[in-house]
Structure 1
Amino acid sequence: MTAFDSTKRHLGQGLFAHPLGVNCGAIGVSEDHQQAEVSQGCYLDGLRRAVELGANLLDTADCYGAGHAERMLGRLLREHPDRKFLTSSKVGHIRGSAPHAYAGRHIHHQFQQTLENLYTEELDLYTLDSWDFGPEDRYLGSAIEQMCTLRDLGAVRAIGMRGPYVPYGATPAERDACAARFLHLFRIIRPNIVWTRFNALTPVITLEGEDLFAFTARHGAGVILAAPLAHGLLTGRAPWNTMPPPGSAIRPTGMTSLTPEKVRRVTAGLQTLRVHFGNEPGILTRLALLSCLQRADHCAAVVGFTSKAQLEESFGCLSGPALTATELEVIDRAYAQIRADLEQPRRRLPQPVRT
């Protein structure tokens, strides 16, 4: 059996990332004042453990915890002043007092705050995290100009943009519209890297007759996959509540908005994989991660976490053998069936006949 290749992958612009990185989206999301200090310690310990396990791609955004995630990551970076990490942040959702998140020099202002939060002088990747560029894309040109200026000045090494994504229940027309919008922006922005939410349950979107991986490879763009475990659903340990907490900075997604009935459909569908691959601890996590990472050599994935144990399980999945072509076919069929089940309308119970 061939071992999984854990060597660093080239994402473009001279950026080499370990296949698995860390996403800080959960930091500062649901803390109250009493839990904040404990949570900060747990998250910082998790980041430290991820670094010990080999992670060098550290992914955050200015809107994660209203800047708290960036500041937490900055603490980690200060602990390793001589170590080279790939720092990734995003802009496009915090408007502040500006008329729009991309208006005027707002990107520049947010970038400076991000550098201060991270306690660094440059970013490896800066991503346009929203496709909303104002009415008739009035701020698109300015946004691109500011991003290119940051790259030309050496303050940013690579420019990213968010990839195509539709929630469950989207019609074929909505999927086509999403693909068309992405292609339009991709041609204008010409990003070095596409940052996208992707996992085995993500609804399929075709780009010029290709999947995302073939499309980006043809255009020389790297890919960063977020939520490869579907917020825990693909691990077989479904969260007790799939909706984000009130006031959360997390925007509802195709995963967080799944109803309890559809969560049960996912759990039932995963049983097919348990029957075929066994029920060892972490087996579903391994299948979910490797089925993403083995799709292309120019992609890396970032996993979220709430504990060191989650990170240890995720990174431990990379120490074993790679999935064979036959195994990947079995996995793809199982996931395709789950996606089909999720797209089915809710089953209605027969109504009693009135007499």
Structure 2
Amino acid sequence: MTAFDSTKRHLGQGLFAHPLGVNCGAIGVSEDPHQAETSDGHFLDGLRRAVELGANLFDTADCYGAGHAERMLGRLLREHPDENLVTSSKVGHIRGSAPHPYAGRHIHHQLQQTLENLYAEELDLYTLDSWDFGPQDRYLGSAIEQMRTLRDVGAVRAIGMRGPYVPYGATPAEREACAARFLRLFRIIRPNIVWTRFNALTPVISLEGEDLFAFTARHGAGVILGAPLAHGLLTGRAPRNPMPDHGSAVRPTGRASLTPEQVARVTAGLQPLRVHFGSEPGTLTRLALLSCLQRADHCAAVVGFTTKAQLEESFGCLSGPALTASELEVIDRAYAQIRADLERQSRPRLPQPVRT
């Protein structure tokens, strides 16, 4: 068996990252304010453990915990000034007193706050996290100009943009519209890296006849995959609010998450994988992660966490052998079946004719 190659991957603009990074989206969202200090300690311990496990890519956003996630990550960066950690943050959802998150010099102002939160002089990756550039893309030109200026002066090293995504139940027309919108923005923004929500359950979107990995490889852009475990759903442990749709580029009304019936369908659809690969703890996590990471060498995935144990399980999956071609075929068939079942459940039922 060939060992999984966990050497750092080139994502673009001289940024090299371990195949598996950490998403800080759960930091600062505790529902109990009295537990905030305890939660902060747990998260900081998790970030420290991630560094010990080899992580060097840490992904956050100014809207994660209203900046609290950035500040927590900043504490980690101060503890590891010589680790060459890759920092990724996003802009596009916090408007403040500006008329729009991308209006005027708002991107510049948000970056200054992000750098202050991180105790950093520069940011490795800054991503335009929303496709909403105002009416008739009013703020698109100024947003691109600001991002390129920030890169030119060395405030950020790489420019990112959100990748294409539609939730289940999206019509063919909605998928085509999403692809067309992404392609237009991609050509104008010319990002160094595409940050996208992606996992085995993600609805397939064709980009000029290619998948996202082939498309970005052809254009020399790296890829960062968010939610590779579908917020725990692909590990066999269903989350309380599976697959939330925060920050989605296209959000049809009423399709923000999977229904309990769809969650049950996914759980049942994972059973063939348990039968084929065994039911040892962490097996489903390994299959979900490696099936993403073995798609291309120019991509990395970021996993969220609430405990150190979750990170240890995820990073432990990379210490064994890579998936073989035949194993990937088995996995792809199982995941394709789950996606097909979800699509059927998501289609609206046509009214039945009334018989007289």
Q: What TM-score, normalized to structure 1?
A: 0.94
* Contact 2:101/2:107 (<8 A) preserved: yes
State the Cα deviation string for residues 125-144 of structure 1 (Å, max 9, x = none).
Answer: 00000000000001000000
The one-letter code of the counterpart of 1:221 is A
Cα 1:127–1:256 change in 2 (3 A) is: same
* Match status 1:106 vs 2:106: yes
Q: Which residue of 2 aligns with 1:3?
A: 3
* Match status 1:300 vs 2:300: yes
Aligned residues: 344
Q: Which residue of 2 aligns with 1:124?
A: 124
Supply the distance in 2 between the matched residues of 1:256 and 1:15 (Cα, whole angstroms). 33
Supply the distance in 2 between the matched residues of 1:302 and 1:117 (Cα, whole angstroms). 21
The one-letter code of the counterpart of 1:70 is E
- What is the deviation of 1:250? 4.4
After superposition, residues 301-316 of structure 1 pair within 5 angstroms as 301-316=301-316
State the Cα deviation string for residues 195-238 of structure 1 (Å, max 9, x = none).
Answer: 00000000000000000000000000000000000000000011
Q: Which residue of 2 aligns with 1:176?
A: 176
Unaligned runs of 5+ in 1: 349-355
Supply the distance in 2 between the matched residues of 1:8 and 1:62 (Cα, whole angstroms). 26
Supply the distance in 2 between the matched residues of 1:192 and 1:251 (Cα, whole angstroms). 20
Q: Which residue of 1 aligns with 2:236?
A: 236
Q: Which residue of 1 aligns with 2:353?
A: none
Supply the distance in 2 between the matched residues of 1:46 and 1:256 (Cα, whole angstroms). 28
* Contact 1:227/1:304 (<8 A) preserved: yes
- What is the deviation of 1:3? 0.2
Supply the distance in 2 between the matched residues of 1:66 and 1:284 (Cα, whole angstroms). 33
* Match status 1:50 vs 2:50: yes
* Contact 2:262/2:345 (<8 A) preserved: no
Cα 1:143–1:163 change in 2 (3 A) is: same
Q: Which residue of 2 aligns with 1:39?
A: 39
- Report SS of the residue matched to 1:345: helix
After superposition, residues 91-240 of structure 1 pair within 5 angstroms as 91-240=91-240
- What is the deviation of 1:33? 1.5
Give identity over the alignment, percent.
88
* Match status 1:23 vs 2:29: no
The one-letter code of the counterpart of 1:131 is W
- What is the deviation of 1:81? 1.6
CA RMSD between the two structures? 1.7
Cα 1:250–1:37 change in 2 (3 A) is: farther
- What is the deviation of 1:241? 3.8
Cα 1:250–1:176 change in 2 (3 A) is: closer
- What is the deviation of 1:344? 1.3
* Match status 1:279 vs 2:279: yes
- Report SS of the residue matched to 2:270: helix
Q: Which residue of 1 aligns with 2:261?
A: 261
* Contact 1:25/1:69 (<8 A) preserved: yes
* 4+ runs deviating over 2 angstroms: 240-244, 249-256, 345-348
- What is the deviation of 1:289? 0.1
